[in-house]
Amino acid sequence: MIRRMKLLALTALAMIVIASPRAAGAPSLVDIDGHWAEGAIKSLVNMGVVEGYPDKTYRPESPVTRAEFAKIVSRAFGFAPSMDTGFRDMDGHWAEPFVSALDSAKVVTGYPDGTFQPSRNISRAEMVTMLARVAQLGEIGAADAATWVPSFRDVGVDHWAFRYVEIARRLDIIPLHFGLVFQPEQATTRAETAYMVKTLSDAQFARGTVTQISSTTQAVTIKNAAGDTQVIQVDPDTVIYRNGTATTLGSIKKNDTVFVVGTSYGIPRFVMAEGLVTKEDITRKVSSLTGGVLTPDQIDLISRGKWEEAREGMSPALVSRLTEMGLTTEEAQAILDQNWNRLPELGRERLSMALGDELGVAPELIAAVMDRDWESAKTYAQLEAAQILLSRLLKL
């Protein structure tokens, strides 16, 4: 059985809770009776993680700022406050100790301009990103998550927060009323915040050393630091990593150290293993770096110098990737076939088409001019002039 995640683990956090007037008992909040997040809100209030307003309201549908969320996360998960934030807009801010704690733990990264923007409402995408990092699942890469099937219509694999949204969904911390639309840029409400934080705080985890792997029962047996044995039952939806790369149960080795994160009701969702680096680890890692264009088997063949065998079945994926980079299908195929003589011709064709679109004339006219084929250019120019005159006459 996976052990329950500890809340308020650090002494510094305990001092905060003890000092909080809200920690002694939940006040009678007048606006949460019957609310779908009532249980989560009351639990966090009792813990001293969140507070009501002086008028005894909680205002569950109000938005949460980034500063407020930093405070909530720091209190809920035991991040010790500090005064060492690197964000240029946090100096002297009331939330600086909490933001600094999350910055040191790499839970927050801020914006490219070096700011944290504490007064900005936190979006749903930003919130699940921080919570995924709190769960120590931030190392899951975009390339590995690209194989996951999107759970929401508006958050596809190309969205910057896709993997974090899917991590949150797998841990069942996303409110059911979101349905099939996540609305990643929408500001998160105080009710949604309470629900997601409380649900993640109830998540279960295990850490230990692998003593046995069973492919028959799809289970991993581990021994924790206390010497207790735990059996981790995985299923097809369990995400398994070894040495930072997505893999399968069969890749886990005896004596690997593992960190398991599961839902609040004990279903393992993520198994993160580390151990001696194997050849399989390397091929999987390189495959991940290519975005899956090259499979681990193809990389293994390349590493052994078997280029011709590796090329079999490789062309379609590589052509697709090259066209995504802006090449035409013909240019991509010419590169794969090493037909260097064909490339200049293809380049002239594409340039002719681009200039023709820009100038509003036939690509053939541009091509003739580029080739200094003046007779052909003259003919094409006459045709262009005739078309222009004809179109004007017809409009009359």
Residue type, 206: A
Q: What is the pLDDT of residues 313-343, one digit of tens each?
A: 666 666 676 666 566 777 666 656 656 566 5
Rounded to 5°, the CA angle 6-12-17 comes to 75
Residue 243 phi/psi, 5-degree rounding, is 50, 40
Residue bearing tokens 């507070």: 51
Query: Residue 324: what are its φ and ψ, rounded to 5°?
Result: -65, -30
- What pLDDT is recorded for position 378? 73
Q: What's residue 364's pLDDT? A: 73
Task: Compute CA 93 distance to the chain's CA centroid, rounded to the nearest angstrom.
Answer: 29
Query: What does the pLDDT read at residue 390?
Result: 65
pLDDT at 376: 75
pLDDT tens sequence across 190-227: 999 999 999 999 999 999 999 999 989 999 999 999 99
Whether the CB-CB separation of 37 and 164 falls below 8 Å is answered with no
Say if CB 140 and CB 259 are below 8 A apart: no
> Residue 335 has what pLDDT?
59
| 279 vs 283: CA distance, rounded Å | 6
Distance CA(70)–CA(50), nearest Å, equals 11
Please report the pLDDT score of residue 359 as a whole number.
Answer: 67
Low-confidence ranges of the chain (pLDDT < 70): 1-27, 279, 281-296, 298-319, 321-327, 331-359, 366-367, 370-371, 380, 382, 384, 386-396
Distance separating alpha carbons of residues 92 and 160, to the nearest angstrom: 31
Tokens of 243: 């040495």
Question: Which is it for strands 268-274 and 239-242: parallel, antiparallel or unpaired?
Answer: parallel
What's the token pair of residue 50? Answer: 């969140």
Query: Are 62 and 190 a contacting pair, CB within 8 Å?
Result: yes
